Amino acid sequence: MMNHDRLELLREALPYIQKFKGKIFVIKLGGTVTEHSATLHSLAEEIALCHQVGIRIIVVHGGGHQVTRLARRLGVQQKIVLGRRITDDETLEIAKMIFAGKINTEVAAALHRLGVPTVGLTGFDGQLIRARRRHPQRIVDPETGREELIDYGHVGDIESVNGQLLALLLEHGYVPVLCCLAADAQGNIFNINADTIAAELAANLDAEKLLLLTDVDGILLEKGDPTTRLSRLTLAQFKELLASGRLAEGMLPKADAILGLLARGRTTVHVINGCRRNALLQELFTDEGSGTMIIPT
Ligand code: ADP
Ligand code: MG
């Protein structure tokens, strides 16, 4: 006999599908999400479903964990300061291989096998992102309170975004898959935090949503304890949370990206566990949700 409860889910999804049709979603895939092919393929199904119901999707990916792993195998030392990787010459070589080579191809292929027309890109294709080398920065270590001058190496900051190519691709039904490398006018290549790129694109394209898919269930009041997940935050509540010091490591660049985006526009941000089957669908198409939603007001 047919289980009618399962069909109720489709009814619940209807107003969301209607609301999101034709809207732009920027989906950022974190390092762990793209690392295991079973996780990636499962998530690709959820993204393909979003594409199929008419949401215009841009995928941005990082891949820090995989850079760390290959660096270890090659004997290249890694240093991460407050969630941001210091990129020396050898690490940039690895970043190019992992970001533009391995992960970009694998993400695009996972969507391609589900019939989604993808286009793999770096941040400088179509002059999408203009970046400049980050100047050495004075950083205060929150644990020791000591100030340090940090040279991030081949790390870039975004100077400007030109969403023309993306708009063109979206208009024709393509799903752009973007890795987190960009360049300056001289062709120097920089590593840029993928959360930052995703947020800048979301702002530039006036996206409906920025979805940060990571390896935790959302923003947690107590890091490491999933029962303390905050399901909905206003910008003011989010600022308070950040000031309370409860966000650390990789959540810090996300917090910067979220603050910058919410201050500028009307995009809603979600932090979702990309490694948990159906978490994306649950967050988008059910009343209940699965992660953390942060709204601009
Ligand atoms: P990604 O590859 O998805 O960007 P990161 O490791 O850079 O992943 O960032 C996510 C990590 O942030 C989580 O695995 C978690 O350890 C850390 N984190 C720090 N503080 C918090 C918090 N309050 N809530 C959730 N995660 C947090
Ligand atoms: Mg990260």
- In angstroms, what is the span from residue 4 Cα to ligand 2's centroid? 40
- Model pLDDT for residues 249-270, shown as the tens digit of each residue: 889 999 999 999 999 878 999 9
Say which ligand is closest to the CA of 192: 2
Is residue 173 scored above 80 in pLDDT? yes
Say which ligand is closest to the CA of 291: 1
Question: Where does the pLDDT of residue 83 fall: very low under 50, low under 70, confident under 90, or very high at 90 and above?
Answer: low
- Model pLDDT for residues 99-145, shown as the tens digit of each residue: 999 999 999 999 999 999 999 999 999 999 999 999 998 988 777 88
Tokens 């941000």: give the residue. 269
Question: What is the CA angle 203-175-112, rounded to 5?
Answer: 150
- In angstroms, what is the span from residue 80 Cα to ligand 2's centroid? 11
Looking at residue 190, what is its pLDDT?
97
Is residue 2 scored above 90 in pLDDT? no
Number of H helices, E strands in the chain: 10, 16
High-pLDDT (> 70) share of the chain, % = 99
Q: Which of 227, 249, 272 maximizes ligand 1 atoms within 8 Å of its Cβ, making it the mutation to test the pocket?
A: 249
Question: What is the CA angle 102-107-274, rounded to 5?
Answer: 120
Question: Which residue lies with its CA nearest to atom 19 of ligand 1?
Answer: 248
- In angstroms, what is the span from residue 3 Cα to ligand 1's centroid? 38
* Cβ atoms of 166 and 128 closer than 8 Å: yes
**The CATH number of the domain covering residues in 22-295:** 3.40.1160.10
Q: Which of 85, 98, 251 maximizes ligand 1 atoms within 8 Å of its Cβ, making it the mutation to test the pocket?
A: 251
Is residue 215 scored above 80 in pLDDT? yes
Tokens of 229: 């997940």
Residues with CB under 6 A from ligand 1: 30-31, 62, 64, 83, 214-216, 219-220, 223, 246-251
Is residue 18 scored above 90 in pLDDT? yes
Per-residue CA distances from 57 to 37, 105, 210 (Å): 21, 17, 10
In 10 A of CB 35, how many CB atoms? 17
Q: Which of 215, 241, 256, 292 maximizes ligand 1 atoms within 8 Å of its Cβ, making it the mutation to test the pocket?
A: 215
- In angstroms, what is the span from residue 196 Cα to ligand 2's centroid? 10
For residue 37, give every residue at least 6 positions away whose Cβ sits within 8 Å of its Cβ, in sequence order, or none.
Answer: 106, 110
- Closest ligand 1 atom, CA of 32? 2
Query: Domain segments of the chain: what residues?
Result: 22-295
Whether the pTM exceeds 0.75: the reply is yes
- In angstroms, what is the span from residue 97 Cα to ligand 1's centroid? 24
- In angstroms, what is the span from residue 244 Cα to ligand 1's centroid? 16
Is residue 40 scored above 60 in pLDDT? yes
Nearest-angstrom CA–CA distance, 284 and 287: 8
Q: Where are the beta strands (DSSP E) in 11-110?
A: 24-29, 56-61, 80-81, 84-85
